[in-house]
Amino acid sequence: MTKKSDPNYSRELSKVRNWLTLDDPVSIATHINVDADAAFSMALLKALRPEAATIFVRADEFIDDKRTLAIDLSNGKQAVKGLECGSAFGLIVNAMKSIDRPVYDCLKGWAKQLNLTDSGNYCRDNVILADHVTSWKAMELYDEGIVNRAFELIKGKILAEKRYIEMKNVAKQIEIEDGIAIVPDDVKVKAAHLFSLGADVVIRQSEFGQSAILSKKALKKGISLSELGPIFSDGWFIHPQGFMLSFGSVKAPKDYRESGFTIDQFTMIIRTWISSHYKSLANSSA
C-alpha cells in the first residue's frame, strides 16, 4: 500500500516530476542484470523521454547528477527506489497521474503488479511482468535488449490506450437512430462505445465486408441475430450466440458488393427486425 504521507515518497515523486521537465540532454540509469522493476521503469521513462540516454551501472553506484534519474538504485541524490509504494515503476506511474492521465490509467494495473512482485509478495495476475524478464534472459538477451523488449510492451500499451480514448470520442459523433448506429467505412470505433451510448445494433460496411453486431443488453432481452438466418445464408456468418451477423471480417475479408445486399437494404432489414422486437417488448410490458 502506498504510504503517500511518507516524506521519502514525496521526495522521490518530486525527483521524477522534476526530471521529466528538464530539457535534453538527460539520461536514465539503472543497475546491471536488470530485474522487472529496473527494466520496465527504464522502458517507461524512455517512452516518455525518447531522447534520453540509458546507462547501466553497479547496484551500489552513487548518482548525483540532476540530469540523470537513477531508477531502482539506492545511493546518490538522484536515486529513486519506490520502496514506499512497492516499486520504482509504481512510483513513476503514480507521478504520471497528474501529468498524463492516459499513461497512468493504462499502466496502473502493471504498477500494482510490480508493487507486489518487487516487494516479494504473491500476485494472482495471469501474465507476470517478472516472468517476461526471466524468459528474455533465458533467450540470452542482456540488459539493453531486455529494456528494448519492455519498451515495446510499454509503448504499445500507451498507444493502444490513446487510440481507445480517440475511438471513444469518435463514437459520440455517430448518430444513433431507433437503436441503430451506422459506422461510416472510414471511421474506426468500438461497438462497445456505441452500445454504452444507447445503440442496440452497430452496422458496418467496409473493405472487409458488411456486419451487424448486437448489444449484450439486447441479447439479455431474448433478441438474437440468428433469427435472420433464413434471409442471410449464402456466404454469411451468424455467430452461434447470436450477437454477430457478417459477410466477411477483418480476419476473413470479403467484397461487400458480393453480399447480395446494398448497405441501405441491409440496414432496412435490420431496422425492421429490431423495431418488431421493440414493439413486442413494449406490448408485453404494457
Name beta bridge partners: 213: 202, 244
In tens, the pLDDT along 57-98 reads 999 999 999 999 999 999 999 999 998 888 999 999 999 999
In tens, the pLDDT along 206-265 reads 999 999 999 999 999 999 999 999 999 889 999 999 999 999 999 999 999 999 999 999
Q: Average pLDDT, stretch 23-42?
A: 96
84 and 94 Cβ atoms separated by less than 8 Å: no
Per-residue confidence band for 120, with pLDDT thresholds at 50, 70 and 90: low
C-alpha cell of 85? 509504494
Q: Given this model, what pLDDT does residue 186 score?
A: 87
